[in-house]
A = this chain, B = another copy of it.
Amino acid sequence: MRVSREQMAENRQKILDAASRLFRAKGFEAVSVAEVMKAAGLTHGGFYGHFRSKDDLIACALATACEPPPNRKLDIDAFIKGYLSPRHRENVAGGCPLAGLTAESLRQTPEARAAITDGMQQQLERMTAALQDKGVADPRQAAIGNLAALVGGLMFARACDDPQLSDELLQQTRAWIEQTNQHNSSTADT
């Protein structure tokens, strides 16, 4: 049963959204094409009308997931606080794709690696601008350090099976990053 052009475009987006969430929650390999299609409200046979292969879907879903939400300015302090929060730790499926999928992406197709690299670059640019506005010296270096620590800290807090240690990891990573940013800020040491 053929559907309208708009409906087809909408279905494609549904597939991408479902894939993006499922991949973040379970990893690329643990999610089947049929599972994605079911989550999108379709049957598995229609998949190849939208994508060339599962690898193609992975690359497209990564690009979708890495799209910046709106284009408004980033508040770096609020971002850090939210990033290293229990809420973000619990919300794997809807959380930062860099935290959930970067490690797996390095074994994917060149297209997937290009998508994650692009997402990384965009995130770094946004953070660099935000840190520069805050008066942090060498904002590019600070953005790289901040992002590395954020992603590492969140990943550890998620993997950890001890809730107390997990909370400590979130809090201490956050405190350490914030303190470092203050040290490097021109208006802080007065």
Q: List A residues at the B interface (Cβ < 8 Å).
A: 26-27, 29-30, 92, 99-100, 102-107, 110, 113-114, 116-117, 120-121, 140-142, 144-145, 147-153, 155-156, 158-162, 165, 168-169, 172-173, 175-177, 179-180, 183-184
Listed A/B pairs (23) with beta-carbon separation below 8 Å = A29-B30, A102-B156, A103-B155, A106-B159, A117-B160, A117-B161, A117-B162, A120-B160, A141-B172, A141-B175, A142-B176, A144-B168, A144-B169, A144-B173, A145-B153, A145-B172, A145-B177, A147-B152, A148-B153, A148-B156, A150-B152, A176-B180, A180-B183
Kindly provide the distance from the CB of A125 to the nearest chain B CB, expressed in whole angstroms: 12
- Besides the contacts A147-B156, A148-B148, what 14 more A-B pairs have beta carbons closer than 8 Å? A27-B107, A92-B106, A103-B155, A103-B159, A114-B161, A120-B156, A145-B172, A148-B151, A148-B153, A148-B156, A148-B173, A148-B176, A149-B149, A151-B155
For this chain, the copies found in one complex come to 2
The CA of A47 and the CA of B63, in the complex, are separated in Å by 40
Q: Main SS of the interface on chain A?
A: helix
- Which chain B positions have C-beta within 8 A of A173? 144-145, 148
The CA of A104 and the CA of B105, in the complex, are separated in Å by 12
The CA of A110 and the CA of B179, in the complex, are separated in Å by 34
A144-B168, A144-B169 given as contacts; is B29 within 8 A of A155 (CB)?
Answer: no
- Which chain B positions have C-beta within 8 A of A144? 153, 168-169, 172-173, 176
The CA of A106 and the CA of B102, in the complex, are separated in Å by 14
- Which chain B positions have C-beta within 8 A of A29? 27, 29-30
A145-B172, A180-B180 given as contacts; is B152 within 8 A of A117 (CB)?
Answer: no
Most buried by B among A30, A159, A184: A159
Most buried by B among A116, A145, A184: A145
